[in-house]
Structure 1
Amino acid sequence: MPIRVPDKLPAIDALKQENIYVMPAHRADTQDIRPMQVAVLNLMPDKITTEVQLVRLLSNSPLQVNIELVRLEHQAKTTSEAHLDNFYRYFNDIKDKNYDGLIITGAPLGLKNYEDITYWPQLKEVLEWAEQHVTSTLYLCWAAHAAIYYHYGIKHEIRDTKLSGIYKHKKWESKAPIMRGFDDVFFAPHSRYGEVPIDKLNQEPDLITISGSDEVGAYLMQNQSGTRVFITGHPEYDRATLHDEYVRDLEAGLAPDIPVNYYPNNDPNLGPEKSWQAHGYLLFSNWLNYNVYQKTPYNLSQVSENVRTDNFA
């Protein structure tokens, strides 16, 4: 099944070039099925690029998924107000609705204290709202650290050097449904300074650390019921995303390290190799299936009443 997005969203044309079918809203309205309702709170400055990345991964599912793009009150730096007005809804306008799933993206805020972020009060409101209005929420990178801090009081620490590159991960909890179909090792991009120590995560009884490595620490976590899923990396990244970040930092005079395991022969003059897309597709597909579709009520008005059981049952 395709996913449904607003008519004329730029992601439609971009993904058609990759032979990915994205259904415009007017076509989806003719299908008599109960589609999944997934909201995306996009905190990234370049919202259009992130839209393409997430729609790509959400498209690889037999479920029809209706996407609703959500924004907070703060002004995006690199996305036009016209695009936001055409395709996004303010959180205050949708907070009376229920959703099967919610995705909250990362943001380039890893070096700031949460309380110093201008939209932190409203983001906290979203995190609390999701507990009663969403079956499962997927937090990416900075949003994962922010949600762990909000829900469990565990604050991330700042690494001495930026974690940037494509890293190998292992399955630490192979029985987790979200890991079904995964190889023993898999690759995923990281681009962050923040890190939550594993020993602190393991002290929280509601958290399950599902995968990671000695090099990157915890990568994939969830709570016992699967209503909160935390990913500290970027499985949605395009082939050139880390390259663009590397060039940006070079031009800013930051002397960045070359992203690990990214360029052939570690040579930035050679085109980067993409080794994580299959993992990204499987991860998002499993989340939609096991954490959302198989848990959510048919009648979305009953989301807050839904019994949240152990996701390993």
Structure 2
Amino acid sequence: MPIRIQDSLPARHVLESENIFVMTHERAMSQDIRPLKIVILNLMPTKIETETQLLRQLSNSPLQVDVELMQMATHFSKNTSQTHLNTFYKTFAELKNQKFDGMIVTGAPVEKLPFEQVDYWPELCDIMAWSRKNVYSTMYICWGAQAGLYYHYRIPKYLLAKKISGIFMHSVLLPLHPLVRGFDDDFWAPHSRYTGTRREDILVHPELEILTESKDAGPHIIAAKSGRQFFVTGHEEYERDTLKKEYLRDLKKGIGPEMPKNYFPDNDSAKEPPFLWRSHASLMFSNWLNYYVYQQTPYDIKDITE
């Protein structure tokens, strides 16, 4: 997929080095097609790393995608330069009069806090309410998934006895569902969080269905039957070394983290972890774009309604 992004975005050079076709605004203007409009609400502190990961996942399709990056106006980001944010990100106020074919809401390292105590929670609620009428399909990731389930369906999150970190085996429960089309019956996926969602809370909502789950990590991909919302409790977008970076960071902080499960060969952090979830991650994002964004969204984007 040619991804349409700003020419000077740092992710461009990384993606081009991986032979991913990145289209600048100037070239895209010469093409007589309507690209899919995707907005990424990036709540992660490592914004450049996260935006690169997600753009990489959105690249595996013949469709052209026009990507906007959104930040919270009510939160100050300490880990990303203000210059980068001012150059490449827009606020909800700048985007709320537009409509989008798809939206991705990332995770955030705030899962230990009650939702209402997160400083940008009111603004996030406004965005989630807006998405119902202005975005055709939204994918929520990790804490974003928990926030979306809580806001839209009042499904709570629960503090775990200890952080779940590592890669875990998952099973496909509904193999005919288009989002998991092509998945193996069992597959690996990464998780990194302190809280969880319980399947019994999900199952009381007939409008939701659990597509995949893990006996160790719990419900994994939860779908609204309408196809307008997907909630992914793991981090499919993570790169090979992302969990390693988090583990070494927490060691340096003196938190005393447990080693990520099923991740380092021989539980030796000096060894390179195998990249066991890459194919299913790519398939999940491409299925979402194909079956729930491209094929379902109205041709005239102004026709998107709740």
- What TM-score, normalized by structure 2, do the two folds share? 0.98
Q: What letter is aligned with 1:266?
A: N
- State the alpha-carbon separation in 2 of the partners of residues 279 and 77 from structure 1: 32
Q: Match of 2:36?
A: 36
- Secondary structure at 2:305's aligned position in 1? helix
Once the two structures are superposed, residues 119-165 of structure 1 have per-residue CA deviations (whole angstroms, 9 ceiling, x without a partner) of 00000000000000000000000000001001111110011011100
- State the alpha-carbon separation in 2 of the partners of residues 202 and 237 from structure 1: 28
Superposed, 1:118-133 pairs within 5 Å as: 118-133=119-134
Q: Match of 1:161?
A: 162
Q: What letter is aligned with 1:267?
A: D
8 Å contact kept, 1:8–1:24: no
How far the C-alpha of 1:11 sits from its partner, in A, is 0.3
Q: Match of 1:75?
A: 76
Q: What letter is aligned with 1:37?
A: K
The answer for unaligned runs of 5 or more in structure 1 is 306-313
Q: What letter is aligned with 2:220?
A: Y
Q: Match of 2:248?
A: 247
- State the alpha-carbon separation in 2 of the partners of residues 31 and 185 from structure 1: 41
- State the alpha-carbon separation in 2 of the partners of residues 247 and 6 from structure 1: 32
How far the C-alpha of 1:190 sits from its partner, in A, is 0.3
Q: What letter is aligned with 2:19?
A: N
- Secondary structure at 1:245's aligned position in 2? helix
Asked if 1:54 corresponds to 2:54, the answer is yes
Q: Match of 2:204?
A: 203
Q: Match of 2:219?
A: 218
Q: Match of 1:45?
A: 45
Q: Match of 1:309?
A: none
- State the alpha-carbon separation in 2 of the partners of residues 286 and 12 from structure 1: 23
- Secondary structure at 1:4's aligned position in 2? strand
8 Å contact kept, 1:221–1:229: yes
- Secondary structure at 1:145's aligned position in 2? helix
Q: What letter is aligned with 2:68?
A: E
Once the two structures are superposed, residues 7-65 of structure 1 have per-residue CA deviations (whole angstroms, 9 ceiling, x without a partner) of 21100001122221211111111111111000001011111000100000000011101
8 Å contact kept, 1:262–1:272: yes
- State the alpha-carbon separation in 1 of the partners of residues 25 and 167 from structure 2: 35
8 Å contact kept, 1:46–1:77: no
Q: Match of 2:15?
A: 15
Q: What letter is aligned with 1:176?
A: H
8 Å contact kept, 1:135–1:303: yes
Q: Match of 2:87?
A: 86
- What TM-score, normalized by structure 1, do the two folds share? 0.96
- Calculate the aligned-residue CA RMSD, in Å: 0.9
- State the alpha-carbon separation in 2 of the partners of residues 106 and 96 from structure 1: 24
- State the alpha-carbon separation in 1 of the partners of residues 40 and 197 from structure 2: 24
Q: What letter is aligned with 1:7?
A: D
Q: What is the percent sequence identity of the aligned residues?
A: 47
The size of the alignment, in residue pairs, is 305
Q: Match of 1:311?
A: none
Superposed, 1:123-202 pairs within 5 Å as: 123-202=124-203
Q: What letter is aligned with 1:33?
A: I
- Secondary structure at 1:85's aligned position in 2? helix
How far the C-alpha of 1:166 sits from its partner, in A, is 0.8
Asked if 1:304 corresponds to 2:280, the answer is no
- State the alpha-carbon separation in 1 of the partners of residues 151 and 76 from structure 2: 23
- State the alpha-carbon separation in 2 of the partners of residues 241 and 117 from structure 1: 24
**More divergent stretch after superposition (124-133 vs 152-161):** 152-161
Q: What letter is aligned with 1:11?
A: A
Runs of 4+, deviation exceeding 3 Å = none
8 Å contact kept, 1:165–1:259: yes
- State the alpha-carbon separation in 2 of the partners of residues 28 and 274 from structure 1: 33
- State the alpha-carbon separation in 2 of the partners of residues 180 and 171 from structure 1: 10
- Secondary structure at 1:304's aligned position in 2? coil
- State the alpha-carbon separation in 2 of the partners of residues 29 and 11 from structure 1: 20
How far the C-alpha of 1:288 sits from its partner, in A, is 0.4
Q: Match of 2:284?
A: 283
- State the alpha-carbon separation in 2 of the partners of residues 85 and 300 from structure 1: 27
Q: Match of 2:238?
A: 237
- Secondary structure at 1:209's aligned position in 2? strand
Q: What letter is aligned with 1:217?
A: G
